[in-house]
Amino acid sequence: MRKEFFISTILLLCLTFIWLFLTLIFSKFGLNMSVLIVAVIGGMLFSSLFPNLKTYLAPSLPFATKWMLRGGIVLYGLRLSLSELKDIGFAGFGIALFTVTSIMIFGILFGRVLKLDKKLTILISAGSAICGAAAVLAAQTIIKTDTDKTIVAVATVVVFGTIGMLLYPLVLSGLEDSFIKGLIVGGTLHEVAHVVGAGAALGEEVAKNAIVVKMIRVMLLVPLLFAFAFNGKEGVKNSIPWFALGFIGMICLNSLINVPFKEFWHMSDTFLLATAMSALGVQTEFKNLKKMGFKPFLLALMLMIVLALIGFGIWLIFN
């Protein structure tokens, strides 16, 4: 069994290197895509083209979707620092908190109206509210959803986050204040990659402010995970997301000292999360996604409209 696990893991890691390489190629042509998105789509396509792939990877898939995923989320904390809060001030924190709270509330309400599966609703809402695919993955480890639901939630982030990344530079180009543009981009776009892409198109100062606001939204992932855990059916001890405490620990460590080899740890968290996404993609079949219909995307569209309205509110308040 150890031999099968070793070979399976090596094969899965090789796939992740392919997704990283493709992401670099895309960036050379000006297409800024998150490697997490490339990994999940690539995993699904490879699994469809090579039906036996899932069998070969089976020994390593549970390890990747649980422990590698959680390890990646813990290391992701090294991207954040408490000092960043000072750079953007109370405005950035208030916007981040309002965005996350509003999207989660509206998401659950809209999900009930659409009669959508509760767990799928939570995943889509978390992805829209916080940090896209990474938030979906983190929430999935707590509420224990099917792989297909996780992939659908990630797909909604891909579609509407990319639309936002392309539209925001056009809509905000006439706005002169870089601070306000940064608040809008960082406070209302889905993925970190989407924020980076839209921010870069609007200027260096906008990108800097947008990324800080986005990072504050990422920090709010921790209290949200604990909210999911304490509202679950499992006992509190068994449901506490201990990896979220590790995430907080990494933020505190990064705030107190200059962590050595930081670029290495950044690459490591990206690699671990991409491997987990690849494993999820391999386990997903297109026919199962079709069964879920259009409602998940309708919910994501409704939440994107709410995000756009929040952005408009930011402009009204600070203009």
| Dihedral (Cα; 20, 26, 30, 35), 10-degree rounding | -40
Residue 207 identity: A
Provide the 10 A C-beta neighbour count for residue 177.
14
pLDDT under 70 in the chain at which residues? 1, 84-85, 87, 232-241, 285-289
The total of other beta-carbon atoms located within 10 Å of residue 87's CB is 13
Residue 87: predicted pLDDT: 66
How many CB atoms lie under 10 A from the CB of residue 147? 18
pLDDT at 66: 80
Q: Alpha carbon 293 to chain centroid distance? A: 22
Domain positions in the chain: 2-318
Nearest CA-CA partner of 190 in 29, 27, 36:
36
Separation CA 100–CA 107 (nearest Å): 10
pTM over 0.85: no
DSSP 78: G
Q: Which helix (H) or strand (E) holds 227?
A: helix 221-230
Residue type, 313: G
Residue 184's pLDDT is 94
